[in-house]
Amino acid sequence: MPGEHIEFRLVAGFGNPGSEYANTRHNAGFWYVDQLANQLGVSFSSDKRFFSQIASAQINARKLLLVKPMNYMNNSGQGLAAVARFFKIESSQILVAHDELDIPPGHIRLKKAGGHGGHNGLRDSVAKLGDGDFWRLRIGIGHPGHKSAVSGYVLKRASADDQRLIDEAVELALRESMTILDGDINVATKALHSHKP
């Protein structure tokens, strides 16, 4: 709910590992969390226990984990849930950054809880965590127009114009990241949702 105060302990970015996927639309969550790590001055290292790359940062004297599940998008929940269980992190303290077909490039939305909306990374996370109570940073990539075209669309690069818009939205999210991580959801939501590309 806008207005409530959240203490986030884990930020996950979703994508597919490997250089062949690095610049594809489905990796928008990785783009955000990679840049967030850079902004916080921390770097990722692989942790096989959690099927993920993990970085640890300090935010206002509390520990914040950044997580990139490395099991491919369809199994993203395995790494996310493994980290959350080990560190005893509630779903409501998790923010997941992911690509969103239902939002145009250049737009970004912050949302609490819900279903998976057909996104396989979210679907697996809801299943593995046991609920959908985590927050989502939804990075708009646009829709190809027909359901049958979705799988090819998300695994391809965006056009130059769309990529510029997506990058601008990610930059906006990065500027608002401290507001989000400080738990000022109402302020962050207003800034993100009022943005006009």
Strand locations in the chain (E): 10-13, 45-47, 52-59, 62-69, 94-100, 108-112, 135-140
Closest CA to 109 of 135, 133, 134, 129: 135
Backbone angles phi, psi at 190, to 5 degrees: -60, -45
- Active-site residue, from 5, 26, 116, 193: 26
Catalytic residue flag (residue 143): no
Gap between the Cα atoms of 92 and 16, Å rounded: 24
Strand locations in 6-146 (E): 10-13, 45-47, 52-59, 62-69, 94-100, 108-112, 135-140
Element (H, E) at 21: none
Gap between the Cα atoms of 195 and 172, Å rounded: 8
Which CA distances in Å does 88 have to 26, 27, 91? 28, 27, 10
Residue 103 carries which DSSP code? S
Active site residues: 26
